[in-house]
Amino acid sequence: MKTLQFRQAIAEAMSEEMRKDESIYLMGEEVAEYNGAYKASKGMLDEFGPKRVIDTPISELGFAGIGVGSTMTGNRPIIEFMTFNFALVGIDQIINNAAKIRQMSGGQFPCPIVFRGPTASAGQLAATHSQAFESWYANCPGLKVVVPSNPADAKGLLKAAIRDNDPVIFMESEQMYGDKGEVPEGDYTIPLGVADIRREGKDVTIVSFGKIIKEADKAADELEKEGISCEIIDLRTVKPLDYEAILKSVKKTNRLVVLEEAWPFGNVATEITYHVQAHAFDYLDAPVVKINTADTPAPYSPVLLEEWLPNHKDVVEAVKRVLYK
């Protein structure tokens, strides 16, 4: 094992795959000369040159479309958005082209493309730069959606995403790029659609993903001091969703809390809640509790932002609620 920052794990994953396959290229704003807006492509221009690490104008619709079209001529692009908030400008290419090419061509054209960049809030970035769209993309057939929470998962999942023959939405976080963690040496991948039992427990299941899962970790540590044992599941992949891992855990603990940084209406937590009540109703000893942001645009004020975001105190309260404590 070696210790890497999250951004280094991302860069390693892309570089290792590009060394093996000349059809892979990276395109986006500031990915080349500036080494990436978050330094997640540091050194890649020097190694692979300007034909495979390509800076673009501020034109998400344009370079998303170039990426999608290039898959039809045998390429495997990685398209970086400076944030998925900006991907809204190019979402027509993602939803109406990337997600549908395979079906609309009768299987003649797969679309092996990765759209990657940060999602959700990252401090005081205000309403239009703090949005989480995982559930939007997961709702669209034809797309896979990956949201890693640590460097080791980021590298293994990104390599799997790059090798996948379908379009993958790979969502990171500005607030995680500096996170450090142990990463296996050598070549490895993590299969898409397989959750990780991050912490084993017996009293309650907590399901989460992405950077907000750190709040679940804090809550579990605090609750352990009170004799409450929490099992934490890191989804890692939102679509396909590892329903089996969730159901197996709930059948053991009989209680479920879902933590997600997203608006409360129609999100990933809603889908999980429905699936559990449909397939494990008789195992539940309490109603499922889901924890989300407030149902408003993200505020700029630090005081309001702290109130808007879920935190470990919310998780502690939710766990005690399902335990009737």
The span from the CA of 272 to the CA of 293, in Å, is: 17
258, 273 Cβ separation under 8 angstroms:
yes
Rounded CA-CA distance 113/146 in Å is: 13
Cα dist. 311→88, 193, 202, 236, 239 in Å? Answer: 27, 26, 22, 19, 24
Residue 240: C-alpha distances to residues 25, 149, 177, 205 (Å): 25, 17, 24, 20
Q: How far is CA 200 from the centre of its chain?
A: 22
Please report, for residues 13, 156, 166, the alpha-carbon distance to residue 160 in angstroms, rounded to integers and kept in the order given: 9, 6, 11
Is residue 42 a contact partner of residue 11, using CB atoms and an 8 Å limit?
A: yes
Helices vs. strands in the chain: H and E counts, helices first? 12, 14
| CA proximity to 114, closest of 63, 157, 76 | 76
Give the CA count within 13 Å in the CB-facing half-sphere of 281: 4
- Give the helix ranges, DSSP H, for the chain: 6-20, 44-48, 60-71, 91-92, 101-104, 134-138, 151-163, 213-224, 243-253, 268-279, 302-308, 312-322
Rounded Cα distance between 140 and 119, Å, is 17
As a whole number of angstroms, the distance between CA 278 and CA 16 comes to 42
**Tokens standing for 186?**
């050598």
| Active site amino acids | 60, 129
DSSP for 227-278?
T--EEEEE-SEEES--HHHHHHHHHHHS-EEEE-SS-SSS-HHHHHHHHHHH
